């Protein structure tokens, strides 16, 4: 996984959820570890779409349990590995 891609995602998560970047790992669970609620996850999705110029289908967000889930989706959509 691209360190640059992960770094960009960590900045967004940190900013949206108010979590220090050092606390964000690939295995961080959005709700359990990062205390994201449904509204903050929806806001996070919008920021990710804007940052990476991708569209995330509404139903897809339900599949985002960990940071790695989001990163894999972004990688698939952008072709960045």
**Catalytic residue set:** 37
Residue 50, number of CB atoms within 10 A of its CB: 10
41 touches 61 (CB < 8 A): yes
Backbone angles phi, psi at 7, to 5 degrees: -60, -45
């Amino acid at each position: 996984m691209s360190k640059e891609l992960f770094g960009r995602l960590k900045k967004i998560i940190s900013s949206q959820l108010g979590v220090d970047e050092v606390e964000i790992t690939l295995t961080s669970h959005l709700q359990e570890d990062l205390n994201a609620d449904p509204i903050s996850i929806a806001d996070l999705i919008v920021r990710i779409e804007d940052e990476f110029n991708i569209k995330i289908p509404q139903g897809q967000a339900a599949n985002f349990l960990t940071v790695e889930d989001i990163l894999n989706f972004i990688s698939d959509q952008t072709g960045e590995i």
